[in-house]
Structure 1
């Protein structure tokens, strides 16, 4: 395999199973990847090409059965559901470069090629396999992971999904051959973030050692919807092996690979085993480099309760879009999530955040400093030569230090820390404006007061400019609107530009006379929402 290095950064999300419509967990995985990708462009504007892959996983028994229930062919069913995922990502400004479907012929060819390469290395053999199989999760589960319910049915303890005892002849992959190398990779490189998942992956690896090699195909008489095993039409490639190969397909494998390995792969914690153990084993078998980093996030809860269709508390992203607007949803999910734990969605709390921080702290600050009563000429002034007051100096110090604090947070995927740091500086700026009372300074004829007003306008607009640049990965539409109003050139919106402008000529803001900007429309809040 030749790698042309035509791309300089590669980030991926899982591909999503199309057995049902998208939910908030799917949205969050993509939002996290999108935010990281946008940050990379702001931090490294010289990036020639950024690959951001996402898509849908469309093979397997669960899809086959869902299509039958919907009275559709499997492909027609997949076409329908995959389009809902694509539409959702577009609605939330997810800037993916590659949208892959495992039913694409290019992908099926890549799967067959991988199979043949692993066979050449004598890593695949035919054997018998038996165990408890979950159609819902498309995987075998261990004996200690199941329980019998009151009706005598066997279910997975954690998810309550039914499992079926399955005995069949299929192909096996020599996972045992890679245990030591995977263990060493995890211990030496610590590729999983947050770091606690490295320990968890090692525990899962120990459990898998007891089970031996893994099944990588299903009998076609049980499952017909999938990629046929090369030279054996009686077998279908196991859906999870098929799905993992998508990361190779999107970069042109095996013919014209434009970037390898992935810089960052986003996954949910429920698929850790597949990405931390099976995936590196496949790559080792293909003699390919392993991912640089795998970022793992937890589940989303609704009002501290696990989401469930039966309970009726599943969050529909389309409903959120109507209620909170695109940037509002992005802001809430990124502000609330801490990668090392499950996140909680509380609509009342989210609306309070949005009104207090986007509408008030950010939006009102812009309107205060651009109002005709304070800034009658709608000018972004040059840096005043007059000495700064202690309050002005203190504020200046805060946003001089802000880019480094935000960079540390964003580089660690702790976007909530970056958001909080930005909001703290904006609150400090609001306090400074309140302290200086510009509405009185604007009416004064005293020269010192006029100088203080110019300093205030300059410092406040500089604060908004820097915060606007740093908020671009989080709320891209709001940030663009803000930076457009300030008249900031498109090529001056990078991390490098987050310094206080020394050589800056006065210019007019992009505002009509008496125009009031609404960066974020305040949301109505009904107090009894608190208890819903």
Structure 2
């Protein structure tokens, strides 16, 4: 396959258990990876864990365990979360792996060779929680004198020897890069934020630390470890075999899409392109930063006790309804609020009533009135043609929407067809046609089956298991479930299995 697609999640920092925010990023990336596979692309989908830094070292010491044992346990939990969410990653990279450390050392050497690295001393406001330095004008001061980063993390004044990257020299080149590639940062609000930050002037970036040991050693200077964000960003190329640019996976570079949450867009859209270009490598084609989730109107917080374990949601509601809800509820790129009521509403109204009933009504009538055999295609009426043309347009419509990460719009586009299908059933009343015009009834049921096939095919990336079962019931062979497969109609007379409900309604249990 000549068309390639490389998509990444951020590697998740192992400073606690995975929560719904991590699941959200991973599920969204999974939908896009599955969509590209469905569309015939050669896909490489990368996720993993970020395991170095002072914060991790301190947490390990506090719990009395070796840092490696500490991150082994937490990384395994993130991997288990990804698997529980149905995330079809091709590789799970860990920054404590030998292959990653080799890549970091080679990447550092390239930065040094470019002349963009020098040894100095750093003084500045450092937020341990963010593993990031901030400028004085970015901070807020509380009445008690505590200074906070824009993320709300407390900062302290740090002074230590440090290697620096000449980020100040990259301002004009980055602005030229953004200008030449207007789609490289999304959504537009994040692009504007990055442009504003760069235009204000860039300062050289501290890229090593000497106050702790839990990190990737700086080549030829064992007193320093790499700044965690240099180490972390390199994961995207270490997983492809860097520095071996002739290896089998290097064909996927540059990344087509780095997907991440908005608080880390600066690292991916400013620092990372500058690092890459300094090292003589192509920058990513697109960085997209989505919003945050609140819970019932409140920010997620361990102290409040409202952090949601996505695996508990799946245990209660099922995997595909949770995947659907997270990508349907809010415009992708904006902030969203999680509520049980909203989840149950989406499940019962859209999945059970709209799509589930359309499938059940169609397939139960095929089973009852046509001996469970798919009817042949008949000459379409104007009403038939209207619905079939809506269904046939779905692949091209979703291709454009998913390519710009408008996942909520993609689902709404599909639901317009689902709603049109239900309206068509009501107008055509195949249950009445059974007595007055059996041939027309068969034609109507075939139109509905073909519409459902198109709907279920394009929804596979969002709800793989449920749509797989729907396609089973529609008699679609596994090898015919790609977008290209939709061009080949199923033969009339295909024997369909007995239909069964795909989405049961959810009822809250009385306390």
Give me the TM-score of the superposition, normalised by structure 1: 0.91
Which residue of 195, 203, 208 maps to 1:217? 208
| Mapping of residues 409-420 of structure 1, within 5 Å | 409-420=401-412
Structure 1 residue 307: Cα displacement: 1.8
**Matches of 1:318 and 1:216, distance apart in 2:** 36
**Matches of 2:228 and 2:155, distance apart in 1:** 17
Q: 1:188 to 1:527 in 2, by over 3 A?
A: farther
Structure 1 residue 174: Cα displacement: 1.0
Q: 1:374 to 1:76 in 2, by over 3 A?
A: same
Q: Over aligned residue pairs, what C-alpha RMSD do you find?
A: 2.0
2:418: which partner in 1?
A: 426
Q: Deviations over 1:263-298 (max 9, x none)?
A: 111121101111111101111111111111111111
Kindly indicate whether residue 374 of structure 2 is the aligned counterpart of residue 380 of structure 1.
Answer: yes
Q: Match of 2:393, SS? A: helix
**Matches of 1:392 and 1:374, distance apart in 2:** 22
1:56: which partner in 2?
A: 49
Which residue of 234, 251, 255 maps to 1:245? 234
Structure 1 residue 417: Cα displacement: 1.3
1:83: which partner in 2?
A: 76
Q: Match of 1:172, SS? A: strand
Contact preservation (8 Å) 1:469, 1:483: yes
**Matches of 1:6 and 1:412, distance apart in 2:** 21
**Matches of 1:380 and 1:121, distance apart in 2:** 65
1:24: which partner in 2?
A: 20
Contact preservation (8 Å) 1:7, 1:51: no
- Structure 1 residues not aligned, in runs of 5+: none
Structure 1 residue 184: Cα displacement: 0.6
Kindly indicate whether residue 441 of structure 2 is the aligned counterpart of residue 453 of structure 1.
Answer: yes
**Matches of 1:142 and 1:517, distance apart in 2:** 60
Q: Deviations over 1:323-354 (max 9, x none)?
A: 22111111001112323421222220111111
Structure 1 residue 306: Cα displacement: 2.1
Q: Match of 2:369, SS? A: coil
Contact preservation (8 Å) 2:166, 2:204: yes
Q: Deviations over 1:197-235 (max 9, x none)?
A: 2221111113452xx21100001xx21101111111111
Contact preservation (8 Å) 1:301, 1:343: yes
**Matches of 1:340 and 1:63, distance apart in 2:** 29
Q: Deviations over 1:41-89 (max 9, x none)?
A: 112x2x3x42111100000001011112222111111000101110011
Q: Deviations over 1:440-496 (max 9, x none)?
A: 333x1x4xx112210111011111101011101111111111111112122222223
Structure 1 residue 252: Cα displacement: 0.6
**Matches of 1:340 and 1:309, distance apart in 2:** 24
**Matches of 2:6 and 2:397, distance apart in 1:** 25
2:189: which partner in 1?
A: 196
Q: Match of 1:379, SS? A: coil
Structure 1 residue 26: Cα displacement: 1.1
Kindly indicate whether residue 477 of structure 2 is the aligned counterpart of residue 489 of structure 1.
Answer: yes
Structure 1 residue 241: Cα displacement: 0.4
Which residue of 296, 313, 328 maps to 2:289? 296
1:472: which partner in 2?
A: 460
Kindly indicate whether residue 31 of structure 2 is the aligned counterpart of residue 35 of structure 1.
Answer: yes
Which residue of 403, 428, 439 maps to 2:431? 439
Which residue of 103, 112, 115 maps to 2:108? 115
Contact preservation (8 Å) 2:392, 2:454: no
Structure 1 residue 425: Cα displacement: 1.3
**Matches of 2:3 and 2:18, distance apart in 1:** 29
Kindly indicate whether residue 247 of structure 2 is the aligned counterpart of residue 277 of structure 1.
Answer: no
1:231: which partner in 2?
A: 220
Q: Match of 1:136, SS? A: coil
Contact preservation (8 Å) 1:374, 1:439: no
Q: Match of 1:167, SS? A: strand
Structure 1 residue 28: Cα displacement: 1.2
Which segment drifts farther, 256-265 or 397-406?
397-406
**Matches of 2:271 and 2:169, distance apart in 1:** 12
Structure 1 residue 7: Cα displacement: 8.5
Q: Give the paired residue count.
A: 505
Structure 1 residue 108: Cα displacement: 0.6
Q: Deviations over 1:161-194 (max 9, x none)?
A: 2211101111111112211111111122021121
**Matches of 2:251 and 2:432, distance apart in 1:** 60
Contact preservation (8 Å) 1:369, 1:375: no
**Matches of 1:263 and 1:86, distance apart in 2:** 23
Runs of 4+ in structure 1 deviating by more than 6 angstroms, as ranges, are none
Kindly indicate whether residue 310 of structure 2 is the aligned counterpart of residue 310 of structure 1.
Answer: no
Q: Match of 1:507, SS? A: coil
Contact preservation (8 Å) 1:187, 1:198: no
Q: Match of 1:261, SS? A: coil
**Matches of 2:393 and 2:44, distance apart in 1:** 31
Give me the TM-score of the superposition, normalised by structure 2: 0.94
Kindly indicate whether residue 409 of structure 2 is the aligned counterpart of residue 400 of structure 1.
Answer: no
**Matches of 1:244 and 1:6, distance apart in 2:** 27
Q: Match of 1:497, SS? A: helix
Kindly indicate whether residue 130 of structure 2 is the aligned counterpart of residue 142 of structure 1.
Answer: no
Which residue of 334, 342, 352 maps to 2:327? 334
2:496: which partner in 1?
A: 509
Structure 1 residue 303: Cα displacement: 2.5
